[in-house]
Structure 1
């Protein structure tokens, strides 16, 4: 496990999903929850196409300063799309976090040694 990121009041959580999976509603709830706690957020829905089954990303910048622009790098990736896994993992800052569904085993080559991995058996729980 890598050393965690230093605590700062400016971080990016990115959700990698499949379009049409209901992820837009869930992602919005996450952003609203942070906003309702009084912390400013800037959200971006990134999708190359509006066709069901294709990739989509939802980026949430949480910043006490209220910055609205995107910031380079991702501090926590919630990786829910196997088709974009390699690209998504590559975006994580060293010391950042990868949250993924660990129901199906993943080979060690799919992870990076400089990030913190949080595997939760989401499919099994559902």
Structure 2
């Protein structure tokens, strides 16, 4: 269950759009994942999964180096203007819930369109 929550948190709120070959690898990884901020003494609980963007950028990097690598990625994003999504656990879950609410609203709109189109058919 803990792994499911962590993966949901790191991925569900983020874009899944395919921007094609014009988007760089780094940009895609940062756009499609978020990291979870926590104190270093809590890293053992997350097992490195709170660093999904870092893991996606450096898939072979050992987990005990993720926190150090994160500082370099933050600096790189500042220099290049890329967005690096990092939230605390509570705020990150809020972002996920807002995204799920947006999707649910889209489903409601689609259902209303289907109902209306069948009335006129």
Classify the TM-score, shorter chain. under 0.3
Greater helix fraction, Structure 1 or Structure 2? 2
TM-score (norm 2): 0.28
Greater strand fraction, Structure 1 or Structure 2? 1
